[in-house]
Amino acid sequence: MENGRLYESDTLHEIWPRRRKTLPPYGLAETPETASGERAWTPGDQPMTPHLLPDGFAQTAAGLMGDPSGRRVFGATRRAFIGSVVSAVAGLVLGSLRRAGAKQLVADLQDAILRLMQSAHIPGLSLAIVRDGQLAHVAGYGWADIEQRRTMQPETLINLGSVTKTLTCAAVMQWWERQRVSLDADVNDYLPFKVRNPAFPTVPITVRQLLTHTASIKDGPAYEESYACGDSRQELGQWLRAQLSASGEASVVRLNFHPWKPGARWAYSNIAFGLSGYVVERLANQSYADYIAEHIFYPLGMIHSRILLNGMDRSAHATPYTYVADGRADSVTLRDPRWTPPTHVTGGLQVPHCLYSFATPPDGSARSSARELARFLMAFMNGGALDGQRILQSRTVALILSDQRVRLPFEPGDKEHITRQGLTWYGLANMVPDRVLWGHTGGDPGIRTLMAFDPHERTGVVVLSNSDSGDAVTAVARRLWGAV
């Protein structure tokens, strides 16, 4: 589908087929019900205070939570990660939704998630479950801040990492609906400077390539170096001009491009989504943060979600954590400057990060909660609208969630197995047996996030964690999937 025309393969029936069976009723968002009508447990009934956690789970900053390696690799953190805590929870939730009543589901989820968190050393986690396009359940577990002993709630804000890219895609496609953007047009048509791969100076880079990780733009060293506490102090357009444009320093620009032709290969790119967000800024004549707030967050009732930290109540936001098994806090970047490491550490150490940003907020700086991000997911599951507010036309959502025929470097069995690339959204495998979900994942220092849904069952989940633990929970996830 391009410029209002729906390709034959992009039918809504393919994206949202008629459900083949009726699932047991799960009830309303705030008061989930069992099939018999009995009111089930909700977070308001039994808040996850420390005494409800397993022995040894509620730890201080010197606790036992996180990635045993303690390593941070920026280039890998924002790739789609499947074999992590959020994958396990997503598989557990979607499997259970097909098999259990609400009361038993909540009990099973609580026990399984707490065991998983303890095993993987994850301080806090929040989730939302969507069913038939409506919010069915939300919950929070563990700590939003260990030292302050703030519990994680479904309303706690967490930086979303690369799930932000789905917001950027929606913003670009709003301009596509207005016929102000063509997916296959040269992105230079919308920029005040020229962007070309220096190895292929006559080959245009298209908007579609930006949204499918095929633009040959890579995250050079300046991208990682731009991470800093607080909001980015660099103007998005100026930074992109210096890193990507022909007018920039040639030795710098070359570091931000792959040596292959645009469109020839798939390679994950954060900077490409920074450029997509800048296209939105240019078309809207307003900042990316203001545009997302005005055209996505506010219409969907995501009134606490935001891009910028400025003006935010710090106590509303979870603290990100990285665990170091050897207790060496100096191995962790972006540490919270307010935090003082303990003088004597025996065993692992949970190191808090500051709240940070980087030069390209459109690729990963959104902050939302499980409850509010579920509203964005529900809008997509409902064809672009929620509660009478439409952010995209249904045909546009169908295009976003359609296979863009990109050759992907993943093989069956890979923990990061993406079976198809839509416009930003992925077809995710290896999460639920015999299912491919549409969604996106995110990872950055101290956080892991996931948003995904099953178009066949019309079930979806949001899972947000204030820990960058990953591989440590893969084995636990597989055992959980085997039990549901």
Better pLDDT: 306 or 97: 306
What per-residue confidence (pLDDT) applies to 346?
Answer: 77
Residues facing residue 137 across a β-bridge: 129
* CA dihedral (7, 427, 360, 255) positive or negative: negative
Cα separations in angstroms, 425 against 89, 162, 211, 340: 19, 11, 9, 40
What per-residue confidence (pLDDT) applies to 481?
Answer: 31
What pTM value is reported for the model? Answer: 0.81
Residue 310, pLDDT > 90, answer: yes
Distance CA 81, CA 430 (A): 11
Residue 62, pLDDT > 80, answer: no
The answer to whether 243 and 284 are in contact (CB under 8 A) is no
The answer to whether 410 and 131 are in contact (CB under 8 A) is no
The answer to whether 139 and 43 are in contact (CB under 8 A) is yes
Residue keyed to tokens 């730890």: 59
- From the number of C-beta atoms within 10 Å of its C-beta (0-12, 13-18, 19+), residue 155 rates as middle
Residue 448, helix vs strand vs coil: strand
The full length of the chain comes to: 484
At 88, is the pLDDT very low, low, confident or very high (cuts 50, 70, 90)? low
* CA dihedral (270, 130, 132, 386) positive or negative: negative
Residue keyed to tokens 């099973």: 108
End-to-end CA distance of the chain: 39
Better pLDDT: 60 or 99: 99
DSSP letter, residue 385: E
Helix axis angle, 271-284 relative to 236-244, nearest 10°?
130
Nearby residues of 51 by Cβ (< 8 Å), 6 or more positions away:
none
Among candidates 404, 364, 63, 360, which has minimal Cα distance to 237? Answer: 360
Please, what is the Cα angle at 387 between 386 and 388, to 5 degrees? 90
Distance CA 325, CA 472 (A): 12
303-318 average pLDDT score: 97
Distance CA 241, CA 71 (A): 31
Per-residue pLDDT reduced to its tens digit, 188-201: 999 999 999 999 99
Residue 156, pLDDT > 80, answer: yes
| 8-22, 77-91, 254-268, 448-462: segment of lowest average pLDDT | 8-22
Distance CA 66, CA 148 (A): 18
Residue 456, pLDDT > 90, answer: no
Among candidates 139, 167, 164, which has minimal Cα distance to 153? Answer: 139
How many CB atoms are closer than 10 A to CB 7? 11
Which amino acid belongs to residue 338?
R
Per-residue pLDDT reduced to its tens digit, 213-246: 999 999 999 999 999 999 999 999 999 999 999 8
The answer to whether 210 and 272 are in contact (CB under 8 A) is yes
Q: Which of 44-53, 379-388, 415-424 has the highest mean pLDDT?
A: 379-388
Distance CA 114, CA 120 (A): 10
How many CB atoms are closer than 10 A to CB 267? 16
Residue keyed to tokens 């599951």: 381
In this structure, what token pair is assigned to residue 171? 């913003």
What residue segments make up the domains of the chain, in order of their start? Answer: 12-50+77-163+367-483
Better pLDDT: 417 or 228: 228
- Which homologous superfamily does the CATH classification assign to the domain defined by 12-50+77-163+367-483? DD-peptidase/beta-lactamase superfamily (3.40.710.10)
At 106, is the pLDDT very low, low, confident or very high (cuts 50, 70, 90)? low
311-318 average pLDDT score: 97
Distance CA 306, CA 252 (A): 32
What per-residue confidence (pLDDT) applies to 128?
Answer: 86
Residue 375, pLDDT > 80, answer: yes
At 247, is the pLDDT very low, low, confident or very high (cuts 50, 70, 90)? confident
Which amino acid belongs to residue 245?
S
DSSP codes, 149-199: TEEP-TT-BEE-GGGHHHHHHHHHHHHHHTTS--TTSBGGGG-SS-B--TT
